[in-house]
Amino acid sequence: MRTVVVSDLHLGVRAGNDVARLPEVRARLAETVRGADRLVLLGDVFELRERPLEEILRLARPVFTELASALAPGGELVIVPGNHDHGLVAPIAAWVGGADRLRSLEQRLPAASIRPLAELAGELDPVKLELAYPGLWLDRGVYAMHGHHLDVHSSIPMVECLALAVSARLKGGRPREGATPADYERIATPVYRASLRLGRAGETLGRAGRGDFSVRMYERLNQDAPSERPNAKSAGRPASPPSSGSARSKLGDRVLATAVPAFVTALNRLGLGPFDPDLSKRALRRAGLVAMATAVDHLGIDAEHVIFGHTHRAGPLPRDVEGWTLPARGTRTETQLMNTGNWVYAPAFLADRPQESPYWPGRCAIVDEGRPPRLVHPLAETGHADLASAG
């Protein structure tokens, strides 16, 4: 049995940089899926913080129909809700008797029982459309989940992580070893509901489109790091001349660079941390892996491989040397982490070429029965000019 795992499509983001809606990109993904028995869309499939699901489904129908048609006859298409489409958790919770009963690592629900997904399920027949939460077992020793649970343990002071820290403080603390998905839902659900309201009002707080507050903050703090940014030529845009406000902008950046550490120090003194003021790409990678390792440990995921998304940072890649392997704990085996990256064009995180950037969109994982998961990159031959038309 072959499974293809794709995460963080963010279909319907208003900025339009959800590249899977581009016909040429969609065709490359369909070729990767072709003949597979199962396609798992591993969270943040829909950008529900910016549009209602009905509207997104109208926009994204070509994505689903082409991917479903690429699957083997009688194949499965499984949607795993993430934080940006967390509204899809509600029917799963209702199915098991309430959010406090979300105790298993895999709860499944046929999409035919959920409106408006029921109509899509009928159109995709005979492909079976299902929801799973917080993840699902893909093979013996291979587990996949979106990974937003890691934000509860993250040391990066992004807005949503800060909100989760406050929520945890108000609700008895962060989950500990032996926790269930319900323990994370208790903390996260109020934050995600607030993020939905704010997102519909025009401000996205998590990792999504170009209006994302956290992405804008990262870009301002790292704009002097050329390896992180595309140059104007490669991005398909002409270089802009210095503006009359550039001096004021540079002054603002210096103030911001001073204010962030002071702000983080204050947060830690209030007992909301520990948070780290370092927002470099290395710090983001390290913090994401440490937080994911904590979530895996606290949830008791006994797997040789755990596949996740959420951070938009694919790996492990050839130059990644540490943090991706979790040591054996008690009776639990050593665990290899794998991140499937994203399908969102966010130039602030990208280098000039796909091979140089772990945030370059278009990666996914292949899981063949009885074999270790492997990363593939259908968009490895694209450039900024190819993707800049998205949005």
Say whether pLDDT at 247 is over 70: no
Top pLDDT among 365 and 266 is at 365
Segment 328-358, tens digit of pLDDT:
988 888 999 999 999 999 987 888 888 788 9
Say whether pLDDT at 317 is over 70: yes
For residue 226, name the pLDDT band (cuts at 50, 70, 90). Answer: very low
Please give the pLDDT value at position 244: 47
Please give the pLDDT value at position 115: 86
The 10 Å Cβ neighbour count of residue 106 is 15
Say whether pLDDT at 129 is over 90: yes
CATH code of the region 2-148+302-387: 3.60.21
Residues, the chain: 391
Please give the pLDDT value at position 182: 98
Say whether pLDDT at 312 is over 70: yes
Which contacts of 49-53 are long-range, i.e. CB under 8 A and separated by 24 or more positions? 49/84, 49/195, 49/196, 49/198, 49/199, 49/200, 49/204, 49/206, 49/208, 50/12, 50/13, 50/14, 50/199, 50/200, 50/204, 50/208, 50/209, 51/12, 51/14, 53/85, 53/87, 53/88, 53/116, 53/117
Structure tokens at 13: 């983001």
The predicted model gives 200-211 an average pLDDT of 56
For residue 228, name the pLDDT band (cuts at 50, 70, 90). Answer: very low
Please give the pLDDT value at position 158: 82
**CA angle 374–65–94, rounded 5-degree value:** 80
Q: What gap in Å lies between CA 383 and CA 305, rounded to an integer?
A: 31
Q: What gap in Å lies between CA 309 and CA 375, rounded to an integer?
A: 12
Q: What gap in Å lies between CA 216 and CA 219, rounded to an integer?
A: 5
Shortest CA distance to 364 belongs to which of 308, 319, 294, 280? 308
Q: Which helix (H) or strand (E) holds 78?
A: strand 76-80
Please give the pLDDT value at position 249: 52
Ordered by start, the domain boundaries in the chain are 2-148+302-387
Please give the pLDDT value at position 155: 86
Phi, psi at residue 305, to the nearest 5°? -135, 130
Q: What gap in Å lies between CA 11 and CA 54, rounded to an integer?
A: 12
